[in-house]
Structure 1
Amino acid sequence: MNTAELKEFLDAKVIQYNNPKFIESDPIQIPHLFNLKEDIEIAGFLTATISWGNRKSIITNATKLMQLLDHAPIDFVMNHSETDLEKLQSFVHRTFNGDDAIQFIKSLQHIYKNHGGLEQVFANYAEPKSLQQSISEFKKLFFEINHLPRSEKHVSDPLKNSAAKRINMFLRWMVRNDHTGVDFGIWKSLSPAQLSCPLDVHSGNVARKLGLLERKQNDAKALLELDNNLRALNVKDPVKYDFALFGLGVFEQF
């Protein structure tokens, strides 16, 4: 396929997958349970944080986590007592355990109390064509309070060559307004043009088959290569192609 044919093919796949049916089998359904901006972004951040492994188990465990937060994420984050945190001790998703859950609630409270909230932090450090610096700065602020060293592994740092798939996915959810009701588009201080594709084994393999990616590892260097190629197809909304790459990989075994 030449570039024009590739763009036409991927644009068609975006239309196929970037629609409300996508929500039914995707972890994005968890933040869709909420209406308040802060509830959506906290539910989205926590769900994205545990989004690795089997998708059904991600959704099941993210649902449990929302139950532990009394279905009121921002209220729990801002107003919890030490006793309230004890029930989180039972939570586990793969290597993310109750200690991590408690740490994340404390760190989120710190972000909202002292740094203006999640959107503000990412906006403060954003670059014109990238949020990877923002992700790295966010991690520093998130863990600048007293914390468990083990919890640091659950927030990736792209400046240490991570593709940061989960947090890039979270940013897609918050920043893109796809006008179909999948991505939320509630963060108005950032632009879809600044987003990076959530690069994982599925999207990476499809991108390689389509000639969008040559690098073998799914790391920060691969992400930059993929971003540049997706921006050549659509400079204003390059990450819409995540739906095409993911859909081709997961649903079509392309």
Structure 2
Amino acid sequence: MKPSVDLRTFLDKKVAEYNRPSFVPGDPISVPHQYTLQQDIEIAGFFVAIFSWGNRTTIIRKSEELMQLMDRAPYQFILHHTDNDLKKLLGFRHRTFNATDLLYFIAFFRHHYSHYDSLEDAFLRPWEERGPAAEGWQAERALSAFYHYFFSLDETPPRTRKHIASPEKNSSCKRINMFLRWMVRRDSNGVDFGLWRRIGPEKLICPLDLHVSRVAKRFELLTRVPTDWLAALELTERLLAFDPADPVKYDFALFGLGVMEKF
């Protein structure tokens, strides 16, 4: 279906309304924005994204609590913590995410950052090229490979697997796609970080949850009923018609309309 010029103009206006520095303080992305070291931003951002379901105030509060437990230096904590340091994490919980899950996440990060400088490499493992861009990078393959890499350590707690989504399970992968948007999208507006340069923003998949799905269906940008991976692909394909270079910028518009404006 040919995209509506009027709808694109309206959504562009909404993107401009929400993609600005004033959006940051009340959003969970405010937590990684407290850091300047890339690895701190990656680690804080990943935890915040994984925690991002439910009330935004609670997400921010629990993310701040975890950052405090890691001495507000998550990268240094990941690399240099002792067994005694881990004891203070044992009481942490956010909804169904508990200390068992947290300790495994920390073990994975320690393993990864012992071999790579950036978490971006965890999403590039199926590709051998390590140049300015990963030739042929494809989100579905990358997210599926990331899931298997994340749970490649010995003695993975079975309960922890539910916290990392995968296209192989037909999940919309909303939280991982949101994290990728934060790390990959780059503009001068001060919300997304744009730290990763080997993955192109045109390859990203729009984060899809019930709020975004509801708005997208009202605009006839989405026809699929389940909020799953195929729906995320369908929505992204429609958004690519509006902006082939940066389709997920429209997440600002759809999220803002669905969550902020209760559209």
Please, what TM-score do these two structures have when normalized by structure 1?
A: 0.96
Unaligned runs of 5+ residues in structure 2 are 127-133
Deviation at 1:207, TM superposition (A): 0.3
Give the Cα–Cα distance (whole angstroms) in 1 for the partners of residues 185 and 115 of structure 2.
Answer: 26
| Closer/same/farther in 2, CA of residues 127 and 150 from structure 1, 3 Å limit | farther
Local SS of the residue matching 1:124: coil
Preserved contact between residue 127 and residue 133 of structure 1 (Cα < 8 Å): no
Give the Cα–Cα distance (whole angstroms) in 1 for the partners of residues 148 and 87 of structure 2.
Answer: 26
Give the Cα–Cα distance (whole angstroms) in 2 for the partners of residues 129 and 230 of structure 1.
Answer: 19
Deviation at 1:118, TM superposition (A): 1.2
Counterpart of 1:122?
123
* 1:85 maps onto 2:94 in alignment: no
Ranges of 4+ aligned residues in structure 1 off by more than 4 Å = none
Counterpart of 1:58?
59
Preserved contact between residue 79 and residue 110 of structure 2 (Cα < 8 Å): yes
Counterpart of 2:27?
26
* 1:135 maps onto 2:135 in alignment: no
Unaligned runs of 5+ residues in structure 1 are none
Give the Cα–Cα distance (whole angstroms) in 1 for the partners of residues 207 and 222 of structure 2.
Answer: 14
Deviation at 1:148, TM superposition (A): 0.9
| Closer/same/farther in 2, CA of residues 230 and 65 from structure 1, 3 Å limit | same
Give the Cα–Cα distance (whole angstroms) in 2 for the partners of residues 222 and 106 of structure 1.
Answer: 33
User: Structure 2 residue aligned with 1:231, among 210, 233, 240?
Assistant: 240
Give the Cα–Cα distance (whole angstroms) in 1 for the partners of residues 158 and 3 of structure 2.
Answer: 48
Counterpart of 1:99?
100
AA partner of residue 44 (structure 1): G
Preserved contact between residue 133 and residue 159 of structure 1 (Cα < 8 Å): no
Preserved contact between residue 39 and residue 75 of structure 2 (Cα < 8 Å): yes
Preserved contact between residue 129 and residue 195 of structure 1 (Cα < 8 Å): no
More helix by share: 1
Please, what TM-score do these two structures have when normalized by structure 2?
A: 0.93
Superposed CA RMSD in Å reads 1.5
Counterpart of 2:203?
194
Counterpart of 2:49?
48
Count of residues paired in the alignment: 254
Give the Cα–Cα distance (whole angstroms) in 2 for the partners of residues 130 and 9 of structure 1.
Answer: 29
